Amino acid sequence: MEDKKEQNYNLLKKKAFDLGAHLFGVANTEPLKQRFLEIEGTYMDDLPYAISLGFPLSKRILKGIVDHPTKLYFFHYQRMNILIDTVTIKLTNIIQDMGYEALPIPSSQVIDWKEQKAHISHKHVAKEAGLGWIGRNNLLVTKRYGSCLRLGTILTDIPLKADSPLDQDCGLCRRCLNVCPVNAIHESPADFDHIACYEQLKIFQKKHNIRHMICGICVKVCLGEFGKNDKLSQKV
Ligand code: B12
Ligand code: SF4
Ligand code: SF4
């Protein structure tokens, strides 16, 4: 069985990379059930694994963001969501053809606007799957891409080897602390001010005539190894 789990893991990882994902990990859903998974019905009960996928954003597009989201970032954000949903749907079909169940979670669908919640927090799945940690900016931070990536999740019952969370955090870095226009970011991610961020995103939406709630400022400064030797990225 262990061999089978490893084989399935390696096969799906390869397929995911071929389809366009750049990071892949698997989490057991059991520890996530209580706090982060809020699915209508009982879909979760017999889906013990969550596949987490990471898709890096264009560094160049992020660099163009100075104090508000650009039109180019908006287009990139939209197309990236389409790519993520396409990849998770394709992987779902591959898993189904292998005789198992799979449930792709939408890249960016909000279920409850009052509570600002989706079915599942991709960030917390990714954290459990060892892709990275929750940074001071309240986003998933990875070693390789910092926060400059978007995430996807598939719940499934195909037997898989599960990864473990990383024993890592932001350490001494504080690059994102002073960049937020409404000071939503604090020393600990537990103190992140969701409301202030949300209100600012509404202002950006109106002022810059952008159809979605986006910003990108706290993403752009968190480059990880992505920003190494990169002079432009130091100018924040
Ligand atoms: C709703 C939503 C928003 C809302 C509010 C989100 C929120 N509550 O944080 C708004 C519109 C404000 C928003 C803003 C942004 N979002 Co958004 N958003 C989502 C969405 C659709 C759902 C998030 C959700 O369900 N949260 C549920 C709540 C309960 O979970 P949580 O916020 O993660 O954390 C809570 C608990 O976990 C706890 N907690 C968190 N950390 C810790 C740590 C400790 C120690 C403890 C005890 C507790 C604790 O406190 C929080 C509040 O209750 C997700 C997609 C998805 N399905 O995951 C994208 C998503 C989170 N967004 C994303 C992004 C990139 C953004 C923006 C940069 C906008 C943009 N694209 O330009 C900003 C960033 C704001 C920020 N710094 O966090 C990405 C994040 C990628 C990454 N690298 O992490 C996601 C994952 C989309 C994707 N497919 O990639 N978003
Ligand atoms: S910029 Fe630095 S402090 Fe902020 S989330 Fe990224 S790694 Fe953490
Ligand atoms: S998305 Fe913008 S407003 Fe929200 S925390 Fe990041 S920098 Fe601040």
- How do the domains of the chain map onto residue ranges? 1-236
Q: What's the confidence (pLDDT) of residue 42?
A: 61
Q: Is the CB of 119 under 6 A from ligand 2?
A: no
Burial letters for 26-59: b for 16+ Cβ neighbours within 10 Å, e otherwise? bbbbeebeeebbebeeeebeebbbbbbbbbbbeb
Q: Atom 7 of ligand 3 has which residue's CA nearest to it?
A: 180
Q: What is the mean pLDDT of residues 87-101?
A: 98
pLDDT at 87 over 70: yes
pTM equals: 0.93
Q: Which ligand is nearest to the CA of 139?
A: 1
- Residue 162: what residue type? A
Cα–Cα distance measured from residue 87 to residue 97, given in angstroms and rounded to the nearest whole number: 15
Q: Which helix (H) or strand (E) holds 19?
A: helix 2-19
Q: How far is the CA of 188 from the centre of ligand 3 (A)?
A: 15
Mean pLDDT value across residues 27-53: 81
Could you tell me if the CB of 135 is within 6 A of ligand 2?
yes
CA–CA distance, 211 with 112 (Å, rounded to integer): 18
Ligand 1 nearest atom to the CA of residue 198, by list position? 12
194 Cα–ligand 1 center, Å: 8
